[in-house]
Each structure stands twice: as C-alpha cells, then as structure tokens.
C-alpha cells in the first residue's frame, strides 16, 4: 500500500514542521488537508503544495476548539470519504519561566492547544478511522515530553501528556487496525524557536546542531507509510542524540 491518492490531515500546517510534512506527504501523492488557525500561513502552505503539483485544501480551525475540530473532521470526511493519515501536530511553546513564576494563563493556553488539542484530534479522527478499520496517526510530542525542560514547565507537562495519550491510544486502537505513534523532535529551526538562541552546540546534543523541519517531516512520512507497519505506540525521538 503506497501513500498515493490517500488522504492526510496535517494540523499546524501553516509553518515549520507541519508545513514541511505537508509538502513531504504531498510529494508522495497524498491529498493533503491542511489545518491551521492562521489563514495567511495555511494558504501559503497550500500554494507551495500546488506549486509542486500537489493536491489539497486548507481549512481554518483552532485545534483547541471542540466544535472547530469536529467541523474540520466532518468536512474532510465528506469531501474525501476517508482519512488515512492524521499528523496531529499543532502546538505552542509559551514564554520561558521557572515554575513558581510561570503564569497560569500561559499554562492554561498551552494545555488547551498542545494537550486538549491533541486529545480532540485523536477523539474525532479515530471515530472515522475506526469505521474504516484502518488509519495511521502521528502525534507531535517533543524531547520536552520525555525529559526535564527547565523553564518550560507547562510545555513539558503538555508534551508528557501527548506521550501518555499516544501510548494509551495505541493500546486501545492497535487491535482495530489503527497505528498511533509520536515523534519527539529536539531543537528545530521554525517560527516557534525564532527568538531562541539555537546555536549552543552542547544544548543541541551530539550532532551539535538543531534540525531542519524537513528532517522531522521525513520521519513523519516514514511512520505514515507501510514501511512502518509494525510501529505502534512508539515514542520516536528525532533529536540528534540529545536525549541519548
Ligand atoms: P511553528 O510555530 O513554526 O508552527 C506551528 C503552527 O501551528 C503555526 O502555523 C500555528 O499557526 C499553528 N497553530 C498553533 N496553535 C494552533 C491552534 N490552536 N490551532 C491551529 N493551529 C495552530 O512551530 P513548529 O516548530 O513547526 O511546531 C510544530 C510542533 O512541533 C508543535 O507541536 C511543537 O510543540 C513541536 N515541536 C517543535 C520543536 C521546535 O524546536 N521547533 C521541538 C519539539 C517539538
């Protein structure tokens, strides 16, 4: 089974890892349904998809809104009839601060987007995949989801939560023909990290550099493909050896 003519949803498709994955899956011949709450960015990704002869649509939605998630899932199901791959990727990082000074508003927003957003995507996409008795889901966690991340307490908690959702969903839905895995990027050069110093070789780990979004997208594409047919519940670090 190749990915050609199959249907992928990518959230956070307007930038960074989501954009790179949209372009990569599109080059495999997938129909890509791009979801982002930023219209200008989402439409720019769709333009880039079309520029490389790909096919897809852009739907504006905030992944932290239950209604908006239900609407985009229903919309894509109606349009394409099925959902084969779901890249559950949209996320925000928030500002850096030690926990005792960490703002409650930042904590609530990060949880709403990164953790509840991941949950809502899983909840409504799995319903469709369950009927098909097939599908592949890749959640974007982070190295912050598997180790301490000083000054990013809320972000780290949200990503540990995504790891928990991934393992639980994999155990529940593996028997129904749905594979669910997570990628854990280390430092990636995207909009999210544009105000951070990403040049410290030690902080970057053994490969001594951050990754490009494309290096994460390549792994996402592999996990989506039949080449990864025995991978389920895996928490895949793509971090140049940082957590090793
Ligand atoms: P990015 O900021 O470049 O892109 C994120 C995209 O998600 C943006 O287009 C944004 O508009 C969209 N988005 C944010 N909140 C949304 C919402 N509520 N609803 C819909 N769309 C929303 O960031 P990125 O670096 O590409 O991050 C993608 C994922 O990778 C995130 O889950 C992030 O936590 C994770 N990640 C990033 C890094 C890194 O170093 N950049 C490392 C590990 C994990």
Residues 7-237, CATH architecture? 3-Layer(aba) Sandwich (3.40)
What are the strands, taking DSSP E only, across the chain?
Answer: 7-11, 31-36, 55-60, 85-88, 135-140, 178-185, 235-238
Asked about 155 being catalytic, the answer comes back as yes
**CA 120 to chain CA centroid, nearest Å:** 13
* pLDDT band at residue 243 using 50, 70 and 90 as cut-offs: very high
Query: Out of 37, 72, 155, 173, which one is annotated catalytic?
Result: 155
Q: Is the CB of 17 under 6 A from ligand 1?
A: yes
- The ipTM, to two decimals, is 0.91
Q: Is the CB of 135 under 6 A from ligand 1?
A: no
pTM: 0.95
State the distance from the centre of ligand 1 to the C-alpha of 162, rounded, in angstroms.
Answer: 14
Domain extent listing, the chain: 7-237
86-137 pLDDT, tens digit per residue, is 999 999 999 999 999 999 999 999 999 999 999 999 999 999 999 999 999 9
Non-local CB neighbours of 72 within 8 Å, separated by 6+ positions: 9, 33, 35, 59, 61
How high is the mean pLDDT of the chain? Answer: 97
Strand, helix or coil at 111?
helix
Answer yes or no: are the C-beta atoms of 5 and 32 closer than 8 Å: no
């Amino acid at each position: 089974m190749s990915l050609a003519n199959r249907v992928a949803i990518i959230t956070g498709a307007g930038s960074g890892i989501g954009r790179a994955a949209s372009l990569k899956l599109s080059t495999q011949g997938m129909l890509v349904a791009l979801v982002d709450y930023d219209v200008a960015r989402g439409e720019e990704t769709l333009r880039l998809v079309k520029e490389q002869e790909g096919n897809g649509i852009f739907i504006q939605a905030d992944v932290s809104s239950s209604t908006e998630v239900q609407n985009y899932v229903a919309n894509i199901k109606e349009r394409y009839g099925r959902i084969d791959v779901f890249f559950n990727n949209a996320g925000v990082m928030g500002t850096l601060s030690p926990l005792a000074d960490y703002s409650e508003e930042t904590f609530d927003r990060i949880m709403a987007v990164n953790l509840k957003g991941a949950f809502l995507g899983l909840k409504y996409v799995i319903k469709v995949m369950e009927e098909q008795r097939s599908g592949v889901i890749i959640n974007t966690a982070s190295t912050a989801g598997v180790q301490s991340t000083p000054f990013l307490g809320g972000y780290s908690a949200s990503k540990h939560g995504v790891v928990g959702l991934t393992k639980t969903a994999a155990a529940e839905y593996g028997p129904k023909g749905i594979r669910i895995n997570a990628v854990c990027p280390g430092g990636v050069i995207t909009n999210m990290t544009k105000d951070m110093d990403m040049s410290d070789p030690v902080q970057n780990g053994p490969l001594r550099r951050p990754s490009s979004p494309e290096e994460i997208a390549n792994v996402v594409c592999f996990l989506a493909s039949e080449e990864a047919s025995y991978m389920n519940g895996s928490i895949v670090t793509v971090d140049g050896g940082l957590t090793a």
